[in-house]
Amino acid sequence: MSTDVVACPDCDLLQRIPALSPGGTACCTRCGRKLATCQPGSLERTTALAVAAAIVFLITNMEPLMGLSLSGREASTTIAGGVWQMWVQGERITALFIALFAVIAPALQIGFLLAILLSVRRPPAPLWVGALLRWVEIAGSWSMVEVMMLGILVSLVKIAAVARVVPGVGIFAAGGLILLLAAMSSSFDPREAWSRVRWVNGEGPQRAPPSAGKDATEAGR
């Protein structure tokens, strides 16, 4: 389509993305920022991972994370249960933050990505896919399932000092969700998706890009 010249998002250096071998990564020659990857089959693989992540996400949110028993009395909590207790007991803003980081952001991240992946299968994809590509990045940056997992483990150990705690299905699902989200994000190639989206100006590339002096560095496979 065009000679692949980009300006590094982190240092603005102009450079050409070289033809990459499968599995290869191009990094900025000046600051080392990753600029492009070559992942054959990225769309299919990411779709499969996103579907799996969606299923495991539902399990993580529906099953109890852990149970507690003390002197014959029992209690258990889900993610929503923790958020709800924070809300009820007066820390409403914090409850909203937790809901955002642990539930809403990951849900949007998976949902938006699935919508993107399905609609770029037949290029050119409609304009709203571009908006979703922007939003999926924002949702991803606020999705903190892995931080939540560490928080669950720490609270489990802390409470285990005073009562008997039993890990629930939710904890194991959360562990799986972390792996799936990481695999999903790393196998997704946003450059590939962007190249399949219809242009706002309705024309596509028109002005000749500059001739870049250097090729970006190709890191090992």
**Which residues make beta-bridge pairs with 77?**
66
- Strands, E assignment, 49-192: 66-70, 73-77, 164-167
Minimum CB separation of residue 175 from another protein in Å reads 15
Minimum CB separation of residue 52 from another protein in Å reads 23
Q: Kindly identify the residues of this chain, within the stretch 117-176, that bind another protein according to CB under 8 A.
A: 127, 130, 133-134, 141, 144, 147-148, 150-152, 154-159, 161-163, 165
Q: Tokens 């720490």 map to which residue?
A: 154
Minimum CB separation of residue 16 from another protein in Å reads 11
Q: Pattern 35-64, binding to another protein, x per CB under 8 A?
A: ------------------------------
- Integer Cα distance of 27 and 20 in angstroms: 11
Q: Are 155 and 62 in contact (CB under 8 A)?
A: no
Q: In this complex, which beta carbon is closest to another protein, that of residue 55 or of residue 97? A: 97
Minimum CB separation of residue 21 from another protein in Å reads 21
**Of 51, 55, 63, 84, the one binding another protein by CB under 8 A:** 84
Per-residue burial over 72-103, b if 16 or more Cβ lie within 10 Å, else e, is: eeeebbbbeebbeebbeeeeeeebeebbbbbb
